[in-house]
Amino acid sequence: MTRVLDCLVTFGHLTKTDDIYALTDKGALFSSDHPDSVLPMVLHLTHIWQNWHHLTETVRRGTNPHRQSVVHSGSEALTAFIGAMHVVGKNLARDIAASLNLSPFKQLLDIGGASGTYTIAFLERQPSLRAVIYDLPEVLPMAQKRLEAHSLLNRVRLVAGDFYKDPLPTGCDLALLSAIIHQNSHEENLALYRKIHDVLEPGGCLLIRDHIMEPDRTHPPAGALFAINMLVNTQGGDTYTFEETKAALQEAGFRTVAWVRKGPQMDCLVQAFVSDHA
């Protein structure tokens, strides 16, 4: 244990004085007591480590025969995953919300909205906007807690369901798929796009936030690495080019598909509209 602690001192996470260790400001971020704790992300990475452990066999076979689902592997893994998504998304969500004109929209459908990170950012950006968060029953209490902390629960309806199997809520004119399409195969995304197209109000808009790859699939670099993450951690997930995403959206019935934001993180945005005609 002393060797581990000494190593953490060298990385600046701890100080050591007379064999007594204490957290630095940098190290305090790993504490569950810190308001900006990154501990959920650390715990999430420990859960996916076993899937990465089988990378060599996965490359040889084309699929991971030992894959363990993060979402369905138990409450501890799911809680860490949802928390990790908030850690990486809380600042990015505000940045993305600030880059959008949300004034034309009345109600957001946040599909797989997790603990509400993007819903909160959108609602704080546009005071007239209301929202529906749609996610698994065990996730919604996490969203309720975070919405209550931001005094936004009165503007949000929480709906339980599995977007792979269950109907989506209706009555919304803006839908968000935030960090969703990379976990799906092409066929799963096409089916999901069709479901969204069918429930959005006429003239409604779908926003996709994800890694959107250039045609050669090497840029953005983080997206190329994330494609390997999906290889070991999902059944058919991948990172997709804009051309692939656009073709699938158009096949599902969407029109005016545009790549409206590019970025090095998972901060690319694709926008698609439903026809004004019902």
Find out whether 223 and 239 touch, Cβ atoms under 8 Å. Answer: yes
Please give the helix or strand (H or E) that residue 105 lies within, else none.
Answer: none
Find out whether 21 and 5 touch, Cβ atoms under 8 Å. Answer: yes
Angle between helices 39-53 and 75-98 (to 10 degrees): 120
Find out whether 262 and 276 touch, Cβ atoms under 8 Å. Answer: no
**In this structure, how many other beta carbons lie within 10 angstroms of the beta carbon of residue 230?**
18
Give 12's strand partners. none
**In this structure, how many other beta carbons lie within 10 angstroms of the beta carbon of residue 180?**
19
CA distance 92 to 131: 19
* Active site annotation includes 150: no
CA distance 159 to 161: 7
CA distance 156 to 260: 27
**In this structure, how many other beta carbons lie within 10 angstroms of the beta carbon of residue 179?**
18
Residue 179: closest CA among 135, 148, 216: 135
Catalytic residue (one of 13, 44, 47, 182): 182
In DSSP notation, 117-137 reads HHHHHHHHH-TT-EEEEEE-T
What are the residue numbers of the active site?
Answer: 182
